[in-house]
Amino acid sequence: MTPEADTTTPVRVGLLGCGNVGGALADLLAQDGEAIFARTGLRLELARVAVRNTAKARGPAVPEHLLTNDAVGVATAADVDVVVELIGGIEPARSLILDALKAGKPVVTGNKELVADLGEELFQAAAAAGVALLFEASVAGGIPILRPLRESLAAERLTRVMGIVNGTTNYILDKMENGESYGEALAEAQSLGLAERDPTADVEGFDAAAKAAIIATVAFGQKMVAGDVAREGISSLLPGDFAFARRMGFVIKLLAVVERHDDGSVSARVHPSLVPVSHPLASVHDSFNAVFVEGEAVGQLMFFGRGAGGRPTASAVLGDLVDAAYSLRGGAPGRLPQPVRARIRPFEEMASPYYVSLLVRDEPGVLAAVAGVFGRHGVSIRTMEQEGAPGGDARIDFVTHTATERNVQATLAELRDLDVVDAIGGLIRVVA
Ligand SMILES: NC(=O)c1ccc[n+]([C@@H]2O[C@H](COP(=O)([O-])OP(=O)(O)OC[C@H]3O[C@@H](n4cnc5c(N)ncnc54)[C@H](OP(=O)(O)O)[C@@H]3O)[C@@H](O)[C@H]2O)c1
């Protein structure tokens, strides 16, 4: 069956865990059902949801009658086609995933500890059952990195992958870069909910090491576990280290680095690194993540985004869910259903800020006349700079607030007719 042939039978999803990520996934399935269908030809339906406490209030996307605390029942239910594990930790997540795989159900998980430490057992169970085990969300949350490594770059000889894969430590390092002590920066991260009360897993690099092991396994096709990763955290960094780095043209980042060496061996490590300020990874701030990939043919690539958070992570889970559903339906990912003709928004309705440059006569009242034209068309001015030009002319540069193409073009048309305007010097749309 292809997705085109079977567009009516929904793919029934059994969700194990409905917390930050599971709850956001339920919301996405409820809100975006039609959009997912239009893009994939699949109807994904939440069929059962296992939680610890069925009395806890959940959003409208999780109707009460779907809730149960019989997680094994959900993992093996006859009316569940795909299982999504979002409980976290080793047990009962491990046993539940094994139960689901043995029952012939593809499994999607975001559980990095489990995949990094016990991945081999799970991959073997999935292979034995002939079903997919997908875990995109286990590395760098919402950033799709494992699928590109596994599929788009499948034939590429990857040499090195370097990632900022822990948002908490990146946030702390950013603050230390700006003069805060380690203790102050950590306390701030904790008060924002970015760091746990016991921050060891993040600040000592354990979390990043688990992700490095997963990246290395996928990028190089050689199994690695978290314990194979050399690891050093950020807790012993001193303000002087940052001052030195700055003087030398570097920033300090906690990097997970996996490499394939000339003799075919591979290595993985996590430690604070001096990154040249000109390197793309140096501009990754706050709690963002990024993964920098180097391959012999492709050269350099960078993936950047939110490495955690309910919705970004649920987005990665949803991608895997579509993949798993395709595998069930025998359809090929990347094959669009018969797309309907696009409903195209006319260019005149596009909106952005604009840079507009005018050559005008340098005489009293010009500015008021020009500003009046902008105002009449509802285009409001954010900044303005005026410069005299030789021969009694002047140049005025404007940057507007967000305006539509239609209103800006109407403004320019009226400006062209104004006696005091000699020429429109330039019009460039600004990325907002
Ligand atoms: N949060 C993120 O930003 C993020 C990013 C990347 C990956 N992940 C991974 O995604 C997974 C889920 O994370 P999360 O932040 O969503 O966790 P969470 O908010 O703590 O949610 C855990 C869910 O599991 C349920 N649960 C716990 N024990 C259970 C049991 N024995 N049987 C059935 N359900 C049980 C809880 O039920 P109750 O609701 O009743 O307590 C809760 O709904 C983890 O593996 C995590 O590492 C999370």
Ligand 1 near 21 CB (within 6 A): yes
Ligand 1 near 193 CB (within 6 A): no
Q: Mapping DSSP to helix (H, G, I), strand (E, B) and coil, where does residue 100 land?
A: helix
Residue 49 burial by Cβ neighbours in a 10 Å radius (0-12, 13-18, 19+): buried
Identify the bridge partners of residue 421 per DSSP, sorted by sequence position: 360
Ligand 1 near 56 CB (within 6 A): yes
Q: Note if 56 is an active site residue.
A: no
Catalytic entry in 105, 112, 211, 253: 211
Ligand 1 near 161 CB (within 6 A): no
Q: Which residue has the tokens 């706050």?
A: 286
In ligand 1, the atom with minimum distance to the C-alpha of 112 is 47
Ligand 1 near 168 CB (within 6 A): no
Q: How many helices (H) and strands (E) does the chain have?
A: 14, 18
In ligand 1, the atom with minimum distance to the C-alpha of 51 is 34
Check if the beta carbon of residue 276 is closer than 8 Å to that of residue 282: yes
Q: Which of 140, 131, 143 is nearest to 105 (CA)?
A: 131
C-alpha of residue 111 to centroid of ligand 1, in Å? 9
Ligand 1 near 70 CB (within 6 A): no
Ligand 1 near 92 CB (within 6 A): yes
Identify the bridge partners of residue 221 per DSSP, sorted by sequence position: none
Check if the beta carbon of residue 227 is closer than 8 Å to that of residue 268: no
Residue minimizing CA distance to atom 34 of ligand 1: 51
Q: Using N-to-C axis directions, what is the helix angle for 20-31 and 33-40, rounded to 10°?
A: 70
For residue 331, what are the contacts with CB-CB under 8 A and spacing of at least 6? 1, 2, 3, 4, 41
C-alpha of residue 92 to centroid of ligand 1, in Å? 12
**Cα–Cα distance between 358 and 353 in angstroms, integer?**
16
Check if the beta carbon of residue 256 is closer than 8 Å to that of residue 163: yes
Q: Which of 431, 429, 354 is nearest to 398 (CA)?
A: 354
Q: Which residue has the tokens 């997540």?
A: 93
pTM of the model: 0.89
Residue minimizing CA distance to atom 17 of ligand 1: 19
Identify the bridge partners of residue 223 per DSSP, sorted by sequence position: none
pLDDT tens digit at each of 432 positions of the chain: 444 445 568 999 999 999 999 999 999 999 999 999 988 889 999 999 999 999 999 999 999 999 999 999 999 999 999 999 999 999 999 999 999 999 999 999 999 999 999 999 999 999 999 999 999 999 999 999 999 999 999 999 999 999 999 999 999 999 999 999 999 999 999 999 999 999 999 999 999 999 999 999 999 999 999 999 999 999 999 989 999 999 999 999 999 999 999 998 999 999 999 999 999 999 999 999 999 999 999 999 999 999 999 999 999 999 999 999 998 887 655 555 566 787 889 999 999 999 999 999 988 899 999 999 999 999 999 999 988 766 678 999 999 999 999 999 999 999 999 999 999 988 999 998
In ligand 1, the atom with minimum distance to the C-alpha of 138 is 7
